[in-house]
Structure 1
Amino acid sequence: MNNLKMDVSVDCILSQAQKRIDELQQVIEFLQKQLEKAPEGSLYGTSSHFQLQWQRIIGEKRIYLSGGKSKLIKALAQKKYNALLLEDFKRQRKALDKLIKSYVPQNGERTYMSMSERWRKQIEPLNIPDSEYVDLWQSLRYKGKSVENTGLWTSKGECVRSKSEIIIADVLASLGVPYRYEFPHKLKNVDSSRCIEVYPDFTCLNVHTRKEFVWEHFGMMDDAEYACNAVAKIEMYLNSGYFWGDNLIFTMETHEKPLNSKIVRILAQKYLV
């Protein structure tokens, strides 16, 4: 599995460019509305006897603005700034539009798959196809915690510890998210340098980004002792470089508020698909 870490990073340029275009469009529309509401005319500043003087220009007419017109001065100054910013963002959006039309994502997979199988067998690709990556990722052998026959089975035929774990596993499976059940991880103890081996419920793979996420479910948060242990475990994750939404997902439930499968699906689609 070590060779997987040598892969070229996933090409996300188009998705990032589109995200930036969407953001720019929102700002452009906002600035246009602000300019529509701005005072008529423009602002011109001059220096006379080491004092700054402001004039409002409407057509060929110039109107001196005294210090008592500070609100109008600020509004006209903001209008100029908004207009300049609008043009900058329009230029940026235009450049990104051109990029999206002409850019062809390439991480080496297309070149690799264009070759015949007999050729592919002879070469070591720079970046292997997603399907091969997933196969390698899932083929890793590991020793998890032993699970007694709970009578609780996922859609993939795995015996798990709770109905909530069935919900999470089945949502992941339905979305095509590869996962390992109770795969061991080492975490740094907050109060010492000693490492502790933990077995999070799910270690998931985002196939598109090839990034791993740990998914912990805390199922008895209305139990005081359990909740304290959960907080301590979250602190260990943070101390070990795991951050929520970056490489860590956790869900919680109580007796009165059970796990909601819709929330599980939202989280999985947000971070793992």
Structure 2
Amino acid sequence: MKEIIRKIDIKLEEVNNLLRISNKQIAQYNNIADIHIQSSMNRGYEQFYCVDRAMNTRKYLKISDLVKYSSLIQRDYDIKVNKKLVKMQKKLTRIAKNLREIDLSEIKAVYNKQPSAKKPYITPIIPSDEVFIAKWYEEHKGGQNSYPIEGNIYTEKGEQVRSKSEKILADLFHKYNIPYVYEPMIKLANGRRACPDFAVLNLRTRETLYWEHLGLIDQEEYATKNMEKIHGYEESNLALGENLLISMESSKKGLNTKTVEKQIQKKCI
């Protein structure tokens, strides 16, 4: 559902942009006479006529005459396009609104409102949050990176991590009660395996997101290596900014925790 709404929003924005251009174009035609160039087919040939609605006249035109009426031809085209864009805008706006009003939480609520004594005998059509989280943890195992962790940096949940920034990230996930695992393993499209820093679960959408923290982006070798890693993710249907999130810092500029927290609130909750 989220992906469908996203695509509709993209299409709606495209239509809105075209409509803004179109509105500017037709605004210049307010003072042009109510004269139109019409066409019809006669024995396989296209014929053109100049129709003056105010004078109620219709004059035959040669093809060579059309250049004299180019502004009218452009105007009629622009008006037709504008009308179609307005219809498309209304239709897409209505569809997007209707889709957003479809809230599956109402279905979940039917189970949640059942008496506790009844719940053991019900298999809900949408698994409860508790069941879904438990299954998610079974399918997303943490601690899969075999490279040794040095230092003594631990999260609030007691997990050993590689950097203070990773601890900050983990503790923010914990703060917002976001299910997460540190260093899960995923299989890429090229057959290789990779261990993103975190897998997190957006419980509202039940979507798994992956988070990479880039800690040394001002070091050329590190930046190049991680750019290749990001490309590998994108080739494996992980879209940057959607189900692949990144944070970064350099030797001169540390992790911006306010920006990170906003991103967590926007994408992970």
TM-score computed with the length of structure 1 as normaliser: 0.70
In the alignment, the residues of structure 2 paired with residue 73 and residue 141 of structure 1 have an alpha-carbon distance, to the nearest angstrom, of: 62
The answer as to 2:46 corresponding to 1:45 is no
Describe the SS at the equivalent of 1:117. coil
1:48-100 CA deviation, whole Å, 9 max, x = no partner?
Answer: 87354253645455586741331332122211221243245435645766x47
Q: 1:120 to 1:90 in 2, by over 3 A?
A: same
| Residue correspondence of structure 1 range 12-23 to structure 2 within 5 A | 23=13
- Tell me how large the CA RMSD over aligned residues is: 4.1
Moved over 6 A (4+): 13-18
| Residue correspondence of structure 1 range 70-85 to structure 2 within 5 A | 70-85=70-85
| Residue correspondence of structure 1 range 48-197 to structure 2 within 5 A | 50-53=45-48, 55=50, 57=52, 59-60=54-55, 66-90=66-90, 93=93, 99=98, 105=104, 108-138=107-137, 142=141, 144=143, 145=145, 147-150=149-152, 152-187=153-188, 190=190, 193=191, 195-196=192-193
CA contact (8 A) 1:42 1:57 kept: yes
CA contact (8 A) 2:12 2:92 kept: no
Select the structure with the greater relative contact order (CA < 8 A; seq sep ≥ 6).
1
Gaps of 5+ in 2: 60-64
Q: 1:67 to 1:29 in 2, by over 3 A?
A: closer
In the alignment, the residues of structure 2 paired with residue 240 and residue 167 of structure 1 have an alpha-carbon distance, to the nearest angstrom, of: 27
Counterpart in the other structure of 1:204: 200
Q: 1:256 to 1:56 in 2, by over 3 A?
A: farther
CA contact (8 A) 2:36 2:73 kept: yes
TM-score computed with the length of structure 2 as normaliser: 0.71
